[in-house]
Amino acid sequence: MLDFQFSCPTKIIFGKDSEQQLGSQISLYGRKVLLHYGGGSVIKSGLHQRVINTLAEAGVEVVELSGVQPNPRLSLVREGVALCKEHNIDSILAVGGGSVIDSAKAIAAGTCYEGDVWDFFTGKAQLSEALPLGVILTIPAAGSESSSGTVITNEDGWLKRSMGGEILRPKFAIMNPELTYSLPPYQTACGIVDMMAHILERYFSNTESVELTDRLSEAALTTIINNAPKVLDNAEDYDARAEIMWAGTLAHNGLMGTGREGDWASHQIEHELSGIYDIAHGAGLAIVFPAWMKFCQRVNPSKLAQFAERVMGVPADFDGDIALEGIARFETFLRSLAMPVRLSEADIDNRHFEEMATKCIGDGLLGNYVQLSRFDIVEIYKLAQ
Ligand code: NZQ
Ligand code: ZN
């Protein structure tokens, strides 16, 4: 096991009616809040009005910025930064999913910086300050409610890039599984794939003596696999929604990556897809991850065999290649969620394979479980066709 430091100070307020605690939480961080949300689901569900009422009761002044799109855009982030500076905003409340939270994180950083917020994504500026951020989560998926990162798409070149720092972890995250009842099956499924991918990116590691985090990961993955059909069969199954929601946070708060080297190639390979084609991140991962696994099975199959046995239930005496059987069963599971598992199923052809591979890595290497060259990444896109 590698040496590590672990700190995840986001206060999780989980359960039915947990949004009623918003007033007491947000008041800890300021009196003038930027309320940030997406394209309308929070208006439709009535959550927006409840939030407005709670903030008014708490005596908090509100400036609103809506319109965050999935794969959140830099232009709206810049708008948010300008609003915060103009109104002397002292904290941000993100109500939504990963896209809203990521947009809010970038605004939180950009408001405390003189230059252009994209500088943090290019490495030109180092993150040292950000406005405090609170979250009401409406979709379990990205894990951004307690992660330190943000992923933003720059429309100039359709570059989807991430940046992060401990200062960006939300101060609190309100998580009421009932708020996820209104999710369409497609969004529910995308979220499930993303949280599984966050575990797998850490699980596929060459670091030895990591039994605890291996088994924590396997427990979380099997819990997600057991509860996925339940939430798709019955959108209002509270207990199954709760299992999935908590799994999504634990998948990406860093705990399962402690003491081990993660991989993260599949995420980068996917980000190039959603950067260019604007597909949902979870759907992109459902296409990329099996292809990445197939590539790795050829050169480093050991952990894939463990995954096959312990997570996908392939018997140890299986007559055939255990790793390949595990990948096949994983694909079958993804299909049961109605996710695409081939680029062709998302209407993506081979036109941009070289470009995407170059944007991923240039002339360097990507990932750790297997280190990938640009040519390997093109091969993975081909395996995903
Ligand atoms: O915009 P609205 O109308 O709210 O609709 C959203 C959106 O269309 C809808 N939705 C959310 N909650 C709902 C709901 N619809 C009905 N009922 C509800 N309760 O769902 C759609 C997707 O929302 P989005 O926020 O885009 O989903 P997600 O949470 O999957 O976030 C995806 C983004 O997070 C990034 C991804 O790359 C992608 O841009 N990631 C962020 C990470 C991080 N910061 O740590 C890590 C991840 O790996 C990921 O890269
Ligand atoms: Zn992800």
Mean pLDDT score, 236-248: 98
Token pair, residue 19, equals: 């949004």
pLDDT, residue 337, reads 98
Q: Looking at the CA of residue 140, tell me the nearest atom of ligand 1.
A: 29
191 and 172 in a common domain: no
How far, in Å, is the centroid of ligand 1 from the Cα of 262? 23
The tens digit of pLDDT for each residue in 24-43 reads 999 999 999 999 999 999 99
Q: Is 365 inside a domain boundary?
A: yes
Q: Report CA(270)–ligand 1 centroid distance (Å).
A: 15
Q: How confident is the model at residue 133 (pLDDT cuts 50, 70, 90)?
A: very high
Q: For residue 361, what pLDDT is reported? A: 86
Q: Of ligand 1's atoms, which has the minimum distance to the CA of residue 191? A: 30
- Whether residues 232 and 112 share a domain: the answer is no
Instruction: Encode pLDDT of 313-368 as tens digits.
Output: 999 999 999 999 999 999 999 999 999 999 999 999 999 999 999 998 877 899 99
Examine residue 6 and state whether it is found in any structural domain, yes or no.
Answer: no
- For ligand 2, the distance from its centroid to the CA atom of residue 114, given in whole angstroms, is 30
Q: What is the CATH number of the domain that holds 149?
A: 3.40.50.1970
Q: Give the up-direction half-sphere exposure of residue 315: CA atoms within 13 A in the CB hemisphere.
A: 3
Based on the fold, state whether residues 173 and 197 are members of the same structural domain: no
Q: How far is the CA of 97 from the centre of ligand 1 (A)?
A: 4
Q: Are residues 263 and 337 in the same domain?
A: yes
Pairing of strands 159-164, 61-65: unpaired
Ligand 1 pocket member 290 (CB < 6 A): no
Residue where one domain finishes, among candidates 163, 179, 195 = 179
Whether residue 272 is contained in a domain is answered as yes
pLDDT band at 99 (very low <50, low <70, confident <90, very high): very high
Q: How confident is the model at residue 171 (pLDDT cuts 50, 70, 90)?
A: very high
- Quote the number of domains for the chain: 2
- Whichever domain contains 265, its CATH number is 1.20.1090.10
Q: For residue 109, is pLDDT > 80?
A: yes
Q: Is 309 within a domain?
A: yes
Report pLDDT digits (tens) over 176-221.
999 999 999 999 999 999 999 999 999 999 999 999 999 999 999 9
Q: Note whether 225 and 367 are same-domain residues.
A: yes
* In the chain, % of residues over pLDDT 90: 97
Evaluated on CA atoms 163, 164, 170, 174, the torsion sign reads: positive
Same domain, 159 and 217: no
Are residues 102 and 191 part of one domain? no
Task: Cite the DSSP H helix spans in the chain.
Answer: 22-26, 41-44, 47-57, 74-86, 98-111, 119-122, 185-203, 211-233, 238-250, 265-277, 281-299, 302-310, 322-336, 353-361, 374-383
Nearest to 31, CA basis, from 80, 91, 94: 91
| Residue 4 belongs to some domain of the structure | no
Beta carbon of 194 within 6 Å of any ligand 1 atom: yes
Are residue 303 and residue 165 in the same domain, yes or no? no
Tell me, using a 6 A CB cutoff, whether residue 139 lines ligand 1: yes
CA distance 372 to 274: 20
Same domain, 137 and 245: no
Are the C-beta atoms of 350 and 258 separated by less than 8 Å? no
Torsions phi, psi for 137 (to 5 deg): -85, 135
Choosing from 157, 179, 201, the residue where a domain stops is 179
pLDDT at position 291 is 98
- CA dist 75 and 39 (Å) reads 15
Q: Ligand 1 mean position to 334 CA, how many Å?
A: 19
Residue 3 belongs to a domain: no
Render pLDDT for 47-80 as a digit per residue (tens, 0 to 9): 999 999 999 999 999 999 999 999 999 999 999 9
Q: What is the mean pLDDT of residues 160-180?
A: 97
Output the average pLDDT for the chain: 97
Is ligand 1 within 6 A of the CB of residue 179? yes
Shared domain for 211 and 349, answered yes or no, is yes
- Residues 154 and 260 both lie in one domain: no
Select from 121, 127, 187 the residue to mutate for testing ligand 1; criterion: most ligand atoms less than 8 Å from CB: 187
**How crowded is residue 349: how many other Cβ atoms within 10 Å of its Cβ?**
9
What are 274's two structure tokens?
A: 């959603």
Question: Rounded CA gap, 381 and 357, in Å?
Answer: 9
Of 160, 179, 198, which residue constitutes the final position of a domain? 179
- Ligand 1 touching residue 99 (CB < 6 A): yes
Q: Compute, in angstroms, the gap from residue 98 CA to the centroid of ligand 1.
A: 4
Cα of first residue to Cα of last residue in the chain, in angstroms, is 37
- Rounded to two decimals, the pTM is 0.97
Are residues 173 and 269 located together in one domain of the fold?
Answer: no
- The parent domain of residue 378 ranges over 185-383
How far apart are alpha carbons 193 and 143 in whole angstroms?
12
User: What is the DSSP pairing of strand 11-14 with strand 172-175?
Assistant: parallel
Q: What is the pLDDT of residue 236?
A: 98
Closest residue to atom 47 of ligand 1, CA basis: 142
Give a yes or no: residue 363 inside a domain: yes
Residue where the block lists tokens 């500088």: 119
Question: Which atom of ligand 1 approaches the CA of 37 most closely?
Answer: 4
